[in-house]
């Protein structure tokens, strides 16, 4: 995902990392839990050293309502900086990992997105995690509920970004809205410039319902 790089704001004080299970993995990605929902830590060992702590801090600065789903997927995601694997090259992306039964999702992060924890950096990391949540946790009924919430917010009008251009596909809208919800942001910090569409309470309901269903599986 190509980031939009606004003027960077001063750092906010970092939240305590004990709020969620966020331990930078110095080991190989094989340490990732083999099953969705199992206890696990974020596998960031394939990122440059400084980036590992930044990604961990990005996730630590999420709202309490997001921590259940983040805990749920933590053991099933591997981060690296191999953006050459991304379709557009040069920009971050996320995709299902078909190469190993022990790994569920890969997130490839461009280095400027993990060089610090400014709002735009944090938003992009959460955007890519949103793709993983979409692929790992949501099912067709959850995606339909999200699409209905988007449609209801538009009141019959076409979806347009804040620059007036047509909105991105629904998978990108979800990732943007996930990042905005989880990070407590008011606006989108990606080039999609997705407007505010789904209320935080509705995002919480959709995602909690999906996690509960997956947890019973």
Output the pLDDT for position 143.
Answer: 98
pLDDT at 35: 55
93-96 and 105-108: which strand pairing? antiparallel
pLDDT confidence of residue 216: 77
Backbone angles phi, psi at 57, to 5 degrees: -70, -35
DSSP 76-90: TEEEE--GGGSSSSS
Alpha carbons 74 and 93: distance in angstroms, whole number: 17
* Per-residue pLDDT at 176: 98
Please report the pLDDT score of residue 69 as a whole number.
Answer: 97
Strands 77-80 and 43-46: parallel
pLDDT at 213: 92
What pLDDT score was predicted for residue 68?
95
Residues of the chain where predicted confidence (pLDDT) is lower than 50 = 5-34
Q: Across-strand partners of 80?
A: 46, 108
Rounded to whole angstroms, the Cα distance separating 212 from 217 reads 9
What pLDDT shows up at residue 90? 75
pLDDT tens figures, 94-147: 999 877 666 689 999 999 999 999 999 999 999 999 999 999 999 999 999 999
- The answer to whether residues 189 and 5 touch, using CB atoms and an 8 Å cutoff, is no
Q: Give me the numbers of helices (H) and strands (E) for the chain, helices first please.
A: 7, 4
Listed in sequence order, the residues at least 6 apart from 33 whose beta carbon sits closer than 8 Å to its beta carbon are: 39, 40, 75, 76, 102
Domain ranges of the chain: 17-216
């Amino acid at each position: 995902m190509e980031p939009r790089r606004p003027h960077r704001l001063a750092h906010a004080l970092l939240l305590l990392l004990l709020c969620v299970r966020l331990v930078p993995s110095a080991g190989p990605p094989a340490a990732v839990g083999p099953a969705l929902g199992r206890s696990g830590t974020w596998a960031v060992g394939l990122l440059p050293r400084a980036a590992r702590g930044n990604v961990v801090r990005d996730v630590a600065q999420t709202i309490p309502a997001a921590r259940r789903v983040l805990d749920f997927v933590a053991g099933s995601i591997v981060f690296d900086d191999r953006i050459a694997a991304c379709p557009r090259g040069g920009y971050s992306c996320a995709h299902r990992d078909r190469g190993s039964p022990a790994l569920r999702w890969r997130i490839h992060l461009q280095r400027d997105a993990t060089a610090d924890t400014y709002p735009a950096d944090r938003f992009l990391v959460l955007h890519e995690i949103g793709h993983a949540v979409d692929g790992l946790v949501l099912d067709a009924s959850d995606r339909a509920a999200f699409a209905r919430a988007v449609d209801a917010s538009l009141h019959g009008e076409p979806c347009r970004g804040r620059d007036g251009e047509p909105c991105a596909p629904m998978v990108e809208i979800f990732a943007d809205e996930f990042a905005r919800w989880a990070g407590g942001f008011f606006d989108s910090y990606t080039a999609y410039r997705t407007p505010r569409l789904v209320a935080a309470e509705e995002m919480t309901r959709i995602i909690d319902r999906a996690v509960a269903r997956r947890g019973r599986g």
